Amino acid sequence: MTTTLLYDGSLNGLMTAIFTIYDRKIKLPIIALDSRTQNDLFEGTELVITDPDKAQRVWNRFKSLCNHHDSHQVYCAFLSEIIGIENTIYEYLKMTFIDQKAPSGDYANTTVLKLSQAAKMVGREKHRMEAFVRFHLIDEETYYANIEPDFNVLPLIMKHFKNRYADQKWIIYDLKRNYGISYDLKTVQEVQIDFNKARGQRGILNTTISGKDDEMTVKGSFRESENNYKDLWNQYFKSTNIESRKNLKLHLQHVPKRYWKYLSEKV
Amino acid sequence: MNYERIKEKLEILADAAKYDVSCSSSGSKRQNKNKGLGDSSGMGICHTYTEDGRCVSLLKILLTNVCIFDCAYCVTRKSNDIKRAAFTVQEVVDLTINFYRRNYIEGLFLSSGIFKSPDATMERLIRVAKKLREEENFNGYIHLKSIPGASDELMQEAGLYADRLSVNIEIPTKAGLKLLAPDKDHKDFIKPMKAVQNSIQIYKSEKKLIKSTPIYAPAGQSTQMIVGATGESDRDIMYSANFFYDKFQMKRVYYSGYIPVANDSRLPAIGTEVPMMRENRLYQTDWLLRFYGFNVKEILNDTHQNLDMDIDPKLSWALRNLDLFPIDINKADKRMLARVPGIGMRSVGKILSARRYRKLNWEHLKAIGISMNRSKYFMTCDSREFESRDLTSAKIKNLILLDSSSKYHKNFSNQLNLFS
């Protein structure tokens, strides 16, 4: 009989679930996200309480059996939030623990292939977000951007933006997952913002935000020069196009419509 | 800042710069320093794509479209009756910094019409780059145009601030250049290339001894050729490209299908279709040379002076060399795997790593993502079934074409008839 383990959606939660499987020698485990499963605890379903120590033991053991690329792939696959990816990750770790070595590059194996494909999709989305983030200067000194990525890529793009915009304060906010990352010229921190307006009403320019943190009160008024730069960018976008080479199919392939909402040149 | 005026200039000077196809922002090693602005040590990023499907990575503008030359193929030629404009150094700096801060761009690609003299023009381009680096602590990507005829000293200085330098050869043959740009000399194009190449080599050898040697043009050089303006063959173009890769260690050669911009009897008339298909085939060939280990003579030679339009150059090569196939996917070396039509370099890597674990069959190859409709005629694997008919090249080609659809199909339906 199968046992369904419900975890809280964090990597530590998933690793605790895997710890539990080994600890209790569960025969046919299925790992699922707590919020995705209906809460009538029918037989064979149990809740995993996240335990960072247990989680670390599993993760460290896994890392000692693979190279950096493999563990990063697993992490990326985890961030994909694809339904069922937890079980692929469990399978992958299981294979690693049995062979005492990660099956890296065994693309003819479905688990390995699935994992690498999920990681690839996440990698692509990460790269897209590095490209499609559009900052707006909101108060006198903070550059702000909204995003709604397909996957949870904020943890992956943090470093890129920190290195690049080392001398300006910025916030990138994932409206889909309702959290953001904020850089204060020293470190990057996770932030949550209580928006005054419902999600559907927020467009490219974010309206008034009242910060949860005391320090972070961001007003949505734009200076004229801010609109000017947006305008100049749109002008540039238009002028650099070559009409006689028009190829909308290719254009859409590179900039799918779901991203247009936050791209000033496409609005 | 006079916003309306800047907008007007941007309209003119971005429009004039757009025929330069290079937009790459990769290959540099410039890291953020002293907590300044920007970092170009990672991979290139395309921040958006125009409706023609081309990537927008850099702010690509001319400093001015005033030009003392009268090259027939160029939109900013002296005799063309168009609006002229010029940015000031400060205006370019402000635009670059403000676009960069908003994550619109990876950096600046600055070119210019040649006003007064090549040296005066080059000197002005350098001033922009220098200001960005020294006053704004800008570590984003800067691509400067090497102005044909500029002095070696200026080229030496340009590389201290720029990540990449390029000079566009534009016309692949000397005869073509003479015809279309009578006041330009082939040597003037080569001279700055040589100067930059020398400086790169000096930098590399000094760097080994002294770690603090200031970096010089870390993303190297590139050039561009116009395709379809004069009657050159694909062989002429690719041999020329090969020459630049070989002799000047170019990072890239770009091929730009000629877009008619003048009513000139020496050139295709305005309204002539841009040879996009041909351009695409040239890029495919370029990739085969740079990543797939092909020699240009294998693809283009006296008997094959032009690329096939209906099939890609690798398939075309394979069909001419059927005696080398089929190969065993589980045994073939990397070089031969890369030569199978339908298998790209990423797939080659996956096959090599997957076959360490087990013998691969058709299902595995399909799952990995190999394009079977082309490759199946050229390989065997761990399956009993494989293409056992003794097919001729023409037959294989027809089978493949029947099995695929290309957006360019209408362009070569005539040629197809020859074979059926």
For the record, the structure tokens of B194 come out as: 């040589």
For the record, the structure tokens of B394 come out as: 């023409």
Q: Do B99 and A229 touch (CB under 8 A)?
A: yes
**Tokens 């075309």 belong to which residue?**
B316
Separation of first and last alpha carbons in chain B: 65
Q: Do A236 and B14 touch (CB under 8 A)?
A: yes
For residue B4, how far is the Cα from the chain centroid?
34
Q: Is A120 on the interface with B (CB under 8 A)?
A: no
Q: Is A136 on the interface with B (CB under 8 A)?
A: yes
Distances (CA, A) of B47 to A263, B102, B124: 10, 11, 27
Tell me the pLDDT band of A150, cut-offs 50, 70 and 90: very high
Q: CA angle, B409 as apex, B407 and B411 as ends, to 5°?
A: 110
The radius of gyration of chain A's CA atoms, rounded to the nearest angstrom, is 22
Q: Is B88 on the interface with A (CB under 8 A)?
A: no
Write out pLDDT tens, residues B153-174: 999 999 999 999 999 988 888 8
Of A159-168, A219-228, A254-263, B322-331, minimum mean pLDDT range: A219-228
Q: Please count the helices (runs of H) and the strands (runs of E) in chain A.
A: 8, 10
Contact A73, A116 (CB under 8 A): yes
Q: Residue A240: which of B31, B50, B101 has the nearest Cβ?
A: B50
Coil, helix or strand at residue A224? helix
Residue-level pLDDT at B402: 87
Write out pLDDT tens, residues A191-206: 998 876 555 544 445 4
Please report how many Cα atoms fall inside a 13 Å half-sphere around the Cα of residue B170, on the Cβ side: 24
* Structure ipTM: 0.90
Instruction: Give the residue on B whose Cα is nearest the Cα of A249.
Output: B53
Sign for the CA dihedral angle at A248, A251, A253, A259 comes to negative
Q: Are strands A188-191 and A179-183 parallel, antiparallel or unpaired?
A: antiparallel
Rounded-to-integer distance, Cα B369 and Cα B344, Å: 10
| Residue ranges of domains in chain A | 2-125, 133-262
Write out pLDDT tens, residues A46-81: 999 999 999 999 999 999 999 999 999 999 999 999
Q: What is the DSSP string of B141-162?
A: EEEEEPPTT--HHHHHHHHHH-
Using CB atoms and an 8 Å cut-off, which of residues 359-388 of chain B contact chain A?
360, 364, 367-368
**CA nearest A128: which of A263, A242, A9?**
A263
For residue B369, how far is the Cα from the chain centroid?
26
What one-character DSSP code corresponds to residue B330?
T
Rounded-to-integer distance, Cα A262 and Cα B254, Å: 32
Give the bridge partners for B227, in sequence order: B257
Contacts of A243 in chain B (CB under 8 A): 52
Q: Residue A245: which of B39, B55, B274 has the nearest Cβ?
A: B274
Is residue A40's pLDDT more than 90?
Answer: no
The radius of gyration of chain B's CA atoms, rounded to the nearest angstrom, is 24
How close B113 gets to chain A, by Cα (Å)? 17
Contacts of B17 in chain A (CB under 8 A): 240
Sign for the CA dihedral angle at B257, B193, B63, A163 comes to positive
Contact B238, B299 (CB under 8 A): yes
Reported pTM = 0.91
**Tokens 């089978």 belong to which residue?**
B399
Write out pLDDT tens, residues B300-326: 999 999 999 999 999 999 999 999 999
Q: Do B14 and A240 touch (CB under 8 A)?
A: yes
Q: Do B37 and A167 touch (CB under 8 A)?
A: yes
Using CB atoms and an 8 Å cut-off, which of residues 169-228 of chain A contact chain B?
185, 225, 228
Contacts of A132 in chain B (CB under 8 A): 47-48
Distances (CA, A) of B217 to A231, B36, B142, B202: 32, 20, 9, 12
The one-letter amino acid code at B129 reads A
Contact B221, B247 (CB under 8 A): no
Domains belonging to chain B, first-starting first, are 3-266 (3.20.20.70), 313-419 (no CATH)
DSSP helix, strand, coil percent of chain A (3-state; round to 5):
45, 15, 35
How close B355 gets to chain A, by Cα (Å)? 8
